[in-house]
Amino acid sequence: MLQRGTARRTFLQAGLCLCGCLAAGRAAGSAGLVEVAPGVLVRRGPDEEASAANGNGIANIGCIIGNDAVLVTDPGGSLADGQWLREEIRRRTQRPIRHVVVSHVHPDHCFGTGAFLDDAPEILGHHRLSAALAARGDYYQRQLVELLGDGAAGPVVLPTRAVGEDETVLDLGGRRIRLAAYATAHSDCDLVMLDEASGLLFPADLLFVGRVPSLDGSLSGWQAALGRLRATGAVRAVPGHGPTTVELGQAIGPLERYLAMLQDETRAALAAGRTMEEAIATVAMAERDHWALFDDYHGRNVTQAYKELEWE
């Protein structure tokens, strides 16, 4: 150790947002829940970074209502965002909230869970979500507290039910929901949900539409995951970021193109002996005009891609 006595201080501040790590929420108020199919309500998250103004309500969140029960997914980006969602749900139905599905570990998707604890739902997540929240929850929470203040950030809530390799099927009363845990892609704990009644697929952040994707798992894994999304045969989907619903095949196209260019050009930079800095400045810049928040996330994506591919 060059220097001893590292203080274990608490370091606040955010800086980097994985997927809008901190962006979101009160925009909730302005956006509102939209019924995108019978019994399926979605709030479109704005294409913004986390801020005190939006309360980290930047992801698409909502619920599915069955005859007997309500399923929430995602619960929101902060306690405040989750509370807003719960109020909106309660304005429409008094059926019990029995399930909260957390699509993955990023804060804009999971920090609203705390708003639903009084409903005593089962909280479902990928079988690796607990480990991911254990490793990152504290860090994310400190960033959120810094941005939103103590009360608004919300607790780190671990899932009570893990979705394993085998598909999990829920019944909301005349409405079956299928859940699948994907291999490492956008993150290492991406969960994909299908509502049989509406045919809507919920790929969460495996599908970014309009907002630049953020890579926090595996570039090649994400490309494979897009193939698996296609293979579901679903026609319409609720992306993690972007419009409330999209035509799945069409929406995958630009993301696939971005990831392929990121991969090809990072590989080419590595083959040419380019440094990480050179790669960051040059790779996939042709995509710049196609995505919101490109400058906020793209350089980081190149860094991730470079780190992954330099070991090939």
Partner 1 sequence: MGMNQNRRMACAGLVLAPLLAIAGPVLAAGGTDQEREERWQDLRQSIFGERPVEDGVGLITLEAPARALDAALVPLTIRIAPEQRDRVAAVHLVIDDNPSPYAARASFGPAGDPAVLRLRVRIDGYTNVHAVAETKDGRLFGTAAFVKASGGCSAPIGVSDEVAMQGMGEMKLRPGGPDTHGEATLLIRHPNFSGMQMNQLTRTYTPARYLDLVRISQGDQTVLELAGDISLASDPAIGFAYRPGEADAFTVLATDSDGGSWQESFPIPANTQ
**Footprint on this chain of partner 1 (rule: CB under 8 A):** 1-16, 105, 128, 130-139, 143, 156, 158, 187-189, 270, 272-277, 280, 299-300, 303, 307, 310-311
Q: How far is the CB of 168 from partner 1 (least distance, A)?
A: 21
In the numeric block, the tokens 């050179």 are attached to: 278
Q: How far is the CB of 258 from partner 1 (least distance, A)?
A: 17
Of 184 and 232, which has the nearer Cβ to partner 1?
A: 184
CA distances from 243 to 3, 208, 248, 298 (A): 50, 9, 12, 21
Q: How far is the CB of 184 from partner 1 (least distance, A)?
A: 8
β partners of residue 246? 237
Q: How far is the CB of 273 from partner 1 (least distance, A)?
A: 2
Q: How far is the CB of 275 from partner 1 (least distance, A)?
A: 7
Of 6 and 94, which has the nearer Cβ to partner 1?
A: 6
Of 52 and 197, which has the nearer Cβ to partner 1?
A: 52
Of 189 and 191, which has the nearer Cβ to partner 1?
A: 189
Q: How far is the CB of 205 from partner 1 (least distance, A)?
A: 15
Of 23 and 89, which has the nearer Cβ to partner 1?
A: 23
What's the CA dihedral at 195, 68, 59, 106 to 10 degrees?
A: -90
Of 66 and 75, which has the nearer Cβ to partner 1?
A: 75
